[in-house]
Amino acid sequence: MTTLITGARGKVGRAVLGRLYSAGHPVRAASAHPAELSLPAGVEAVGLVLDRPETFAAALDGVRQVFLYPEPSGIRELVEAAEAAGVEQVVLLSSSSVLGPDAEADPLASHSLRVERALAASSLTCTFLRPDAFASNSFAWAHPIGRSLPVQLAYPDAQTAPIHPEDIADIAFEALTGDSLTGRSVTLTGPESLTFRAQLAVLSEAIGREIPVERISREAAERQMAAFMPAPVAGSLLDLWAAASHGPAAVADTTETLLGRPARSYTQWAAENAPAFTGH
Ligand SMILES: NC(=O)c1ccc[n+]([C@@H]2O[C@H](COP(=O)([O-])OP(=O)(O)OC[C@H]3O[C@@H](n4cnc5c(N)ncnc54)[C@H](OP(=O)(O)O)[C@@H]3O)[C@@H](O)[C@H]2O)c1
């Protein structure tokens, strides 16, 4: 039963593929840039661009389940191609943002919500993994920290409950190989709510050096973020962080319950990834 892994260059997709391969499950790796994949021996790489339906049929041939990154453009065609290919199950890397009050109007949340809705309307068995902020979002701070510059934030007291991407991969593996998650939608978070300042203090411990934090205006943050993302997405993130500055982030026990062990901490993530912040 071949599993197609989309986003196989991504942090979670790569980790899910590695787990399935190590456990002896047949896997196929999909990427918009298959030549850039680094894969275990014998794993087939296939070109799949989630908004280009002409790439779907070959990638899905012989596939029984898909680990899917959300891309709303082309999702209707992807569902049709998956049904035609005999795919039975899809495990979607969605987002907790779909549960927000204005999810349909929000550019971040609607991205995943439109994919969930298309899948829910299909004949496929679907599991929706809805993680909160990834611990790996902190890589966005690697540039200033590596240069001993202050980390500039509009909302340094915003709180998230960062989840370790390896925990998401563990849960995706369970969804693809077991039956405890079949057909379910689960919100996933890390084990504790931390402000950005607190996350930077943990990173500071991990690299053995102080990390200065500088508060900047929302307008200045918008200008900086414009280099990396469309303005509406930056606006949506800033709104989220402004709202998250008023109290702790919700911590779900699903990660621990599903894995039968404590969720990995942000401190663990920081220790594992410290070299990315020091250039060593
Ligand atoms: N970050 C969060 O806090 C968060 C929270 C909830 C949900 N999510 C969801 O999780 C998904 C993954 O988010 P992410 O931010 O962690 O992305 P990611 O896993 O780093 O990458 C996602 C995809 O981007 C493509 N990509 C483009 N340039 C790349 C590069 N240089 N190296 C590796 N991959 C590259 C790859 O697809 P190709 O190989 O096909 O190009 C890759 O699979 C997103 O769909 C997001 O909606 C994220």
Residue 102 sits in the same domain as residue 21: yes
In a domain, 175, yes or no: no
Residue 57 sits in the same domain as residue 141: no
Residue 147 sits in the same domain as residue 81: no
Does residue 12's CB lie within 6 angstroms of at least one atom of ligand 1?
A: yes
Does residue 52's CB lie within 6 angstroms of at least one atom of ligand 1?
A: no
Residue 154 sits in the same domain as residue 227: yes
pLDDT average, residue stretch 72-95: 97
Question: Which two structure tokens, joined as six digits, stand for 41?
Answer: 């021996």
CA of 191 to the centre of ligand 1 (A): 22
Does residue 11's CB lie within 6 angstroms of at least one atom of ligand 1?
A: yes
CA of 204 to the centre of ligand 1 (A): 26
Q: Which atom in ligand 1 lies closest to the alpha carbon of residue 32?
A: 40
pTM of the model: 0.96
- Taking the C-alpha atoms of residue 215 and residue 212, their distance in angstroms, rounded to an integer, is 10
Q: Which atom in ligand 1 lies closest to the alpha carbon of residue 7?
A: 43
Residue 157 sits in the same domain as residue 101: no
Does residue 137's CB lie within 6 angstroms of at least one atom of ligand 1?
A: yes
Asked if pLDDT for residue 59 goes beyond 70, the answer is yes
Domain range for 58 is 2-131
CA of 70 to the centre of ligand 1 (A): 9
Asked if pLDDT for residue 280 goes beyond 80, the answer is no
What are the Cα distances from residue 252, in Å, to 99, 190, 192?
A: 14, 8, 9
pLDDT average, residue stretch 43-68: 96
Mean pLDDT value across the chain: 96
Asked if pLDDT for residue 40 goes beyond 60, the answer is yes
Residue 249 sits in the same domain as residue 158: yes
CA of 165 to the centre of ligand 1 (A): 11
Confidence of residue 101 (pLDDT cuts 50, 70, 90): confident
Split into its structural domains, the chain has a count of 2
Between strands 2-5 and 125-131, the pairing is unpaired
Question: Which two structure tokens, joined as six digits, stand for 148?
Answer: 């001993």
Which residue type does 140 have? A
Confidence of residue 1 (pLDDT cuts 50, 70, 90): confident
Asked if pLDDT for residue 279 goes beyond 80, the answer is no
What percent of the chain clears pLDDT 70, i.e. is strictly above it? 100
Residue 79 sits in the same domain as residue 139: no
Does residue 152's CB lie within 6 angstroms of at least one atom of ligand 1?
A: no
pLDDT average, residue stretch 244-257: 95
